[in-house]
Amino acid sequence: MVVGSIVYGNPDATQMSRIPVTKASEADASHEELKDSATPYPSPVYAWFVLALLVLGSLVAFVDRQVVAIVVEPMKEDLGVGDTQIGWLYGVFALFYAVAALPIAGIADRGSRTKLIAVGIFLWSFMTIACGLSRQYWLLFIARMGVGIGEATLTPATTSLVGDYFPRDKIPLALSVFQTGAIFGTGFAFLIGGVVLGYVEDAAPLVLPIVGELRPWQQTFAYVGLPGFILAMIFWVLREPARRADPSKPHLETTNASNKLLSAELVAFYKTHKTTLILHHLGFLSLVLMGYAFVFWTVTYFVRIHGMAPSEASQAFGWIYLIAGPIGPIAVALAAKKLRARGHLDANIIAGMVGGLLVIPVIVLIQFAPSANVALLLYIPAVILVNSPFGIAAAALPMIAPPHLRARVAAVYMLTGSVGMLFGPPLAGFFNEFVFPEQDGLRYSMVTLTTLFGVLGGILLQLARPHYARSLALAE
């Protein structure tokens, strides 16, 4: 390691990763100078306050993201589409969520992260309401693209902010707590969405000027999109923290030229840790695909297999997800911390892998539950386990990435992990429609996808363990 450049254990990366050093007075006045790495961290109280707001942002994001899974049956009836097309409403969200992440992460590494999050929240809330105003499938499809772009701001900006608010050894726990926002958000999405759907189904029709009458599923989208506007205003006025510089780059400028060199450094970092990152990304991608397919089709499972009403099934699942969901990521983060204290450098990978493997038999048992009540009981351990890998999956990356690349590394992981979101729901829908087209075919689709991708994820993460340990040792 030399002043003005970072070498990630690869002599050939020296020229790629060299960053120009200039006097602070020559920097553009519109950019905030990177602070010295010795700058004290903000007070723990304030750091956890900001993290609480980020958790709330994640919660709102997942409510708007998941509401589409609640209204599958009424949407299909009104729009005249099949399971595969409904699945693609989640898939197209994931595609644009992933594609937008890298350029947005570049902004997060250079500009105001709090204002970036504010703009993102406003956009995804607006586009969620637009989903409710859509009367044709293609308009709904486009609106879901906008939801994906807006939500792509949150994770890269959060990863960067957490690195400036918390000491390095606290980052895994902080990001695992952030992950609980996604879990609470999913629970609230099903709970609130089910309540709203039940209410609007029994209420008088809502008729708006120009737009006309909104069906119950359309009203559900519109109502859940409204709270995000308030949260966007809060983030807009939140104070942006001082950036913490890499010790070897105390005066890194945020010009276009240095941004290109940072991109070159990102490539060099991935080359140096190639095996670690490929196995990490693909292993957790497989578990993401399994998990999203399972969660997305849950309400439909109870409707088709056990004859429940969509609003009833959504509320029951929402309560389970809300109560049991956060247990997994926090338990896995604490287990990883204990393993790390005992000298296991691969602790983050072990903890995530175990949770991902244990959920497989539970999901399979759910598909053949004799009643809805038995299935709901089995959903408790299933929800704990299916969520357990993903906080530690994200937290494992800033442990090996340098501070000025953390947002972009998080964005690359989002890009690969979003493939699971992209293909999980529509792939299950394809199996429902064409491979197991019977009324109870959904259960066989779940068994097939869970076994295939759950086992694949476990194998890839097992292979990743020694490589991650070496990468962490190099970073430390």
What 3-state class would DSSP assign to 211?
coil
For residue 244, the Cα-to-chain-centroid distance in whole angstroms is 24
Q: Which residue has the tokens 């690349």?
A: 405
Does residue 31 lie within any of the structural domains? no
Helical (H) or strand (E) element with 125: helix 113-133
Domain with 342 in it? 37-240+261-475
**Half-sphere exposure of 325 toward its Cβ, with a 13 Å CA cutoff?**
25
For residue 393, the Cα-to-chain-centroid distance in whole angstroms is 11
Note the pLDDT of residue 198: 85
User: In this prediction, what percent of the chain has a pLDDT beyond 90?
Assistant: 40
Does residue 268 lie within any of the structural domains? yes
Does residue 373 lie within any of the structural domains? yes
DSSP 210: T
Does residue 446 lie within any of the structural domains? yes
Tokens standing for residue 212: 């006309």
Q: Which residue has the tokens 């997994």?
A: 328
Does residue 371 lie within any of the structural domains? yes
Q: Which long-range contacts (CB under 8 A, 24 or more apart) does 448-452 make?
A: 449/289, 449/290, 449/293, 449/294, 449/424, 450/290, 450/293, 450/294, 450/359, 450/360, 450/363, 450/364, 451/360, 451/364
CATH of the domain at 134: 1.20.1250.20
Q: Which residue has the tokens 């510089």?
A: 245
For all residues of the chain together, what is the average pLDDT? Answer: 83
Note the pLDDT of residue 231: 94
DSSP 167: -
Q: Which long-range contacts (CB under 8 A, 24 or more apart) does 100-103 make?
A: 100/148, 100/149, 100/152, 101/152, 101/155, 101/156, 101/411, 101/414, 101/415, 101/418, 102/408, 102/411, 102/412, 102/415
Note the pLDDT of residue 398: 85
Other CB atoms within 10 Å distance of the CB of residue 42: 17
CB-CB contact of 449 with 366 (8 Å): no
Does residue 16 lie within any of the structural domains? no
Does residue 24 lie within any of the structural domains? no
Does residue 383 lie within any of the structural domains? yes
**pTM for the full model?**
0.74
Find residue 2's DSSP bridge partners: 5
138-153, pLDDT tens digit by residue?
A: 999 999 999 999 999 9
How many domains, in total, are found in the chain?
1
71-94, pLDDT tens digit by residue?
A: 888 888 888 888 999 999 988 998
Note the pLDDT of residue 453: 96
Q: Which residue has the tokens 């959903």?
A: 379
DSSP 297: T
